[in-house]
Amino acid sequence: MRRPKRMVSLEGSEHPRDPGIRQAGKADPNEILKVTLHLRSRNHAKNFLDREIAALIAGRRKPMTREEWQEKYGADPADVKKIEALVSEHGFTVGATHFGARMMTLMGTSERASAFFGIKRMMFDSPDGRFAGHTGTVRIPAEIAPLIEDVVGLDNRRQAQRQQPQWIMVKEAGLTPSGYLPTEIAIVYNFPKRYTGKGETIGVIELGGGYRPEDIQKYCALMKTPVPTIVAVSVDGTTNSPEGKTKDFDGEVVGDIETIAGSAPGATIAAYFSKNSNQGFLDGVRFAVHDKQHRPSILSISWGGPESTYTRNTLVTFNKVLQEAALLGITVCCASGDHGSSAGVPGGQHVSFPPSSPYALACGGTRLKITDQNTIKEEVVWHGKEGASGGGFSEVSPIPDWQKSTPVASQAKRFKKTGRGVPDVASVADPTTGFLVLVNGKYGVGAGTSAAAPVWAGLIARINESLGRAVGFINPLLYQSASDFEKAGAFRAITTGNNGFYHAGPGWNPCTGYGSPNGTKLANAMAKCKAPKTLAAAK
């Protein structure tokens, strides 16, 4: 197979070494691969995203529409034409190009891709099963190397974990176990009662699994809420497939949808289905951010994994996508993880990504007990045999400016850390005090921080409706106005418990952030915000 003459290494494309993964022979050379190229922006200025974010935070610019983004920062048609010509010469079929998302797909055999990208594809065995992938650095033909930021799809190892402990299921379909309804949690957390999230679209990222409409209908009848409009969006050929090959993830999908249906019953839900791989996760989020058809104003992501499991280039590319979301006025709510202060990595303290991104609202977890009158009886850090609230300090993202003059900085110094503090906020996550779900005709109870993310997504949808604008990139405002929010009673600080290494305490802490919300007081406080330009997101 002919290989391009001059090749340039794609820095940071090496997969971290994992002692649990071992080679298991050669990959099928005739396997048809669908490879995604993430292209550079038509604006070639260095660090343009950082400058745009700084202007957004300072109130010097408003969020952009997706059309404005594509025109100013989308892929350059001249770049696309040049890449198409070269890859066609080497036997690839060029698929769709998404100019706004700067995504271009190629299809070709494994043998052809190995030659073109300078790799050797092998089979590997891992605890998650056998997969085809590669070792070493991806290489790109020199003549198009400056036009490409990342290449994904050459390795299909499972990238993300569902941020959720095992659901406690009841086998008999007619029985209903004890568990909170999202509508009850909305009352407990004092969500704005006059608003339902009407006019908002919440996107949920799903890496497998599916939902049955009849379950959602029955669940909404139980909550006495209208059935929301739900659209299933296929990103890479993955579809809504309840009880299919990835049925183990059905609870994740249904949990997201049913939680949002109760916490923001007036919102539309767009479920983006993609593969659980480096390519699928990144492409799914990127597609949702730039989706001109459904236009989500909020994303809820219940998936993630330890920072150390990502390639360096993927972390950089993913962060850029979340920056783009911020510039488009999209709030990205991410589950902080269910493995406490270790993030599931033996030894030391670690955090999960994407919640560790500065451009994600990281949602930690609590154990919640409520009274018969739907008031809080007790709320502490979630930490039990089923898991614990993820939190700590990033080893990849330095502490952002908006966390530097806050308790995050003092705690980071105390623990000799220099990274972004996680989480930002929290809500109920302990599955023993978790949500009732209805999955494939069976009731169950569960939670995890994957429940916290859609709870917060639902609250943000109600706040957006109440303000008449999308709050968008909320993190700088959350920290810069923390004292105002505290005075307004917008958060319930979680002062009891730990997530392993870190302990709760007044104000921000690396277990539950600023704590659980008082939704109405938070909405009222945000309405009085002195920096409205940072909130005025265009739809």
Longest dimension (CA), the chain: 72
Give burial (CB, 10 Å; 0-12/13-18/19+) of 385: exposed
* Pair of tokens at residue 367: 């154990």
For residue 516, with 0-12 CB atoms within 10 Å meaning exposed, 13-18 middle and 19 or more buried, which class applies? buried
CA 37 – CA 150 distance, rounded (Å): 6
What is the distance between the alpha carbons of residues 499 and 112, in angstroms, rounded to a whole number? 47
Of the candidates 450, 466, 481, 516, the residue annotated as catalytic is 450
Contact present, 446 and 162 (Cβ < 8 Å)? no
User: DSSP per residue over 162-217, as a string?
Assistant: ES-PPPEE-SSTT-----B-HHHHHHHTT--TT---TT-EEEEEESS----HHHHH
Q: Helix/strand/coil (H, E, C) string of 36-73?
A: EEEECCCCCCCCHHHHHHHHHHHCCCCCCCHHHHHHHH
Q: Are 428 and 404 in contact (CB under 8 A)?
A: no
Asked whether the beta carbons of 218 and 212 are under 8 A apart, the reply is no
Closest CA to 164 of 430, 478, 497: 430
Place of tokens 């007036």: 266
CA-based radius of gyration for the chain: 22
Report in angstroms the alpha-carbon separations of 25 from 45, 131, 341: 44, 11, 36
What is the C-alpha to C-alpha distance for residues 62 and 70, in angstroms, rounded to an integer?
A: 16
Burial status of residue 19 (CB atoms within 10 A of its CB: 0-12, 13-18, 19 or more): exposed
The first and second tokens of residue 138, run together, are: 């991806």
| Distance separating alpha carbons of residues 304 and 117, to the nearest angstrom | 27
The yes-or-no answer on residue 450 being catalytic is yes
Catalytic residue selected from 256, 307, 324, 379: 256
Is 256 an annotated catalytic residue?
A: yes
Is 252 catalytic? The answer is yes
Could you say which of 52, 206, 252, 379 is catalytic? 252
Amino acid type, 270: A
Which residues sit opposite 32 in a β-bridge? Answer: 109
- Taking phi over 0 as left and psi of -120 to 50 as alpha, with beta for the rest, 271 belongs to beta
Asked if residue 506 lies in contact with residue 475, where contact means CB atoms within 8 angstroms, the answer is no
Give the Å distances, CA to CA, from 226 to 194, 308, 435, 439, 440.
15, 42, 19, 18, 20
Which of the residues are catalytic? 252, 256, 450
